[in-house]
Amino acid sequence: MEIKETLNIEMLEKLKILEERFNELSEMLIQPDIISDQSKYIKISKEYKDLKTVVDKKNEYENVLANIEEAKEIIKNETDKEMIDLANQELNDAKIKVSTIEDDLRKMLIPKDPDDPKNIVMELRAGTGGDEASIFAGDLFRMYSKYAEKKGWNVNLVDFNEGTAGGYKEIIFEINGEDVYGTMKFESGVHRVQRVPQTETQGRVHTSAATVIVLPEAEEFDVDLNMQDVRIERTTSTGPGGQSVNTTYSAIKLHHEPTGIIVSCQDQKSQHKNLDKALKVLRSRLYELEIKKREEADSAKRNSMVSSGDRSAKIRTYNYPQGRVTDHRINLTLYDLQNIVNGDIDKLVEELKIVQDSELIKNEEI
């Protein structure tokens, strides 16, 4: 049965192309050469899973349209009043349902960011505000860690530099899970806190800041990293970590000569594990440079209200005296500060996603 309700022709064509691709992937997944190539099999399986959701929704849509046509036929040809009333009820229910499914399909056809399913590397750095900024960076790390825990994601430290009064001058960590980058990418930017600092004796409200950077974790095939361009420096670790910290050369510092990027990792006692983590961060930072080039060529992304490309942009304020959190990009204020700083940031994330989806639908004219 052909879809012929309110969806536009371009959208119908997209659905047709996606269904053809889904059928093609179904055939590929049973081919021996694909099965034997693990990286290719995983990539194709992921695409298959994503497209199956769209194809299933398309089939559901067609079934509802069939029910509409059937109800119309009964109303037109049936003489029994009870049957006609029943058909009218089914028709009304189906029309409501078809409208909901159309909205779902429009969202599903929004062009996907290929990086959305990736794990991430997050970097938090204290900004203006001295010791209070470091304490705030620590609060943000705790907030994101608790949110990750609620989502069933894993958090792994890479490197950190503790503040003199608590928190962190800088902390770098990985978050691994499902669709992490797609969920967390809106967090990039400058976060401000307004409160009476722990170090303040006069009881005055101060404003401090911390910068959040969210990088999609780059796979080896995403970035052509020539190890001849990387100078590896091995040193002893500093800070907490047990007796072996300062006696073994387990800490790693990578210098990427062409870009000047420097990455350190000292979280693990194993030099090999620290090197692996440092290389992940280096690849992700190099990948970010590629993303920026890509976004420069994409005016829709560059001009998006929720774009996270500018690290210096003030995106959110946490005001403790008023118990509020304000996201300045979408003018959203929530008077739920305590729950938010304890990891309940779903409302913020969802509202940002809604705005992004609305912009993309408008740009694509879906």
The reply to whether 282 and 306 lie within a common domain is no
The reply to whether 344 and 212 lie within a common domain is yes
Higher pLDDT, 346 or 237: 346
Percent of the chain with pLDDT strictly greater than 90: 44
- Using a 10 angstrom Cβ sphere, with 0-12 exposed, 13-18 middle and 19 or more buried, the burial of residue 191 is buried
Give the other-Cβ count within 10 Å of 13's Cβ. 10
Q: Which of 108, 141, 159 is the last residue of a domain?
A: 108
The reply to whether 196 and 249 lie within a common domain is no
Q: Is residue 319 part of a domain?
A: yes
pLDDT score for 265: 87
Residue 182 in tokens: 């797609």
Q: Is residue 1 part of a domain?
A: no
Span 87-116, average pLDDT: 86
Q: How far is CA 108 from the centre of its chain?
A: 16
Q: Given a cut of 80, is residue 306 above it in pLDDT?
A: no
Distance (Å, whole) CA 61 – CA 260: 53
Q: Which of 294, 323, 351 is the last residue of a domain?
A: 294
- 344: pLDDT confidence band, cut at 50, 70 and 90? very high
CATH of the domain at 188: 3.30.70.1660
The reply to whether 240 and 165 lie within a common domain is no
> The domain containing residue 144 runs over which residues?
120-216+302-364
The reply to whether 309 and 290 lie within a common domain is no
The reply to whether 273 and 314 lie within a common domain is no
Q: Given a cut of 70, is residue 298 above it in pLDDT?
A: no
The reply to whether 104 and 149 lie within a common domain is no
Q: Is residue 221 part of a domain?
A: no
Q: Is residue 125 part of a domain?
A: yes
Dihedral through CA 335, CA 339, CA 342, CA 343, nearest 10? -90
Q: Given a cut of 60, is residue 287 above it in pLDDT?
A: yes
> 227 in helix, strand or coil?
helix
pLDDT score for 347: 95
Q: Given a cut of 50, is residue 129 above it in pLDDT?
A: yes
Number of domains into which the chain is organized? 3
Distance (Å, whole) CA 238 – CA 234: 12
Q: Is residue 153 part of a domain?
A: yes
Span 109-128, average pLDDT: 88
Phi, psi dihedral angles at 142 (to 5 degrees): -65, -45
Which among 144, 136, 209, 112 has a CA at the least distance from the CA of 346?
A: 144
Distance (Å, whole) CA 324 – CA 192: 12
Q: Which of 79, 108, 137 is the last residue of a domain?
A: 108
Q: Is residue 178 part of a domain?
A: yes
21-25, 99-103, 177-181, 298-302, range with the lowest pLDDT = 298-302
pLDDT score for 149: 97
CATH of the domain at 263: 3.30.160.20
The reply to whether 245 and 124 lie within a common domain is no
Q: Where in 243-323 does DSSP place strands (E)?
A: 251-256, 261-265, 314-319
Higher pLDDT, 108 or 245: 108
CATH of the domain at 32: 1.20.58
Phi, psi dihedral angles at 161 (to 5 degrees): -135, 105
Whole-model pTM: value is: 0.71
Residue 50 in tokens: 């994503």
Do 337 and 320 meet the contact criterion of CB atoms below 8 Å apart?
Answer: yes
Q: Given a cut of 50, is residue 74 above it in pLDDT?
A: yes
Q: Given a cut of 60, is residue 301 above it in pLDDT?
A: no
Span 16-28, average pLDDT: 93
Residue 344 in tokens: 């309940």
pLDDT tens digit string along 182-213? 999 999 999 999 999 876 767 889 999 999 99
The reply to whether 157 and 174 lie within a common domain is yes
DSSP-derived pairing of the beta strands 206-216 and 261-265: unpaired
Helix, strand, coil tally for the chain in percent (to 5):
50, 20, 30
pLDDT score for 242: 41
Do 140 and 50 meet the contact criterion of CB atoms below 8 Å apart?
Answer: no
Average pLDDT, the chain: 85
Percent of the chain with pLDDT strictly greater than 70: 86
The reply to whether 174 and 236 lie within a common domain is no
The reply to whether 197 and 162 lie within a common domain is yes
pLDDT tens digit string along 219-243? 766 777 888 888 888 877 665 444 4
Higher pLDDT, 115 or 246: 115
Q: Is residue 184 part of a domain?
A: yes
Q: Given a cut of 60, is residue 4 above it in pLDDT?
A: no
The reply to whether 91 and 25 lie within a common domain is yes
Span 13-38, average pLDDT: 91
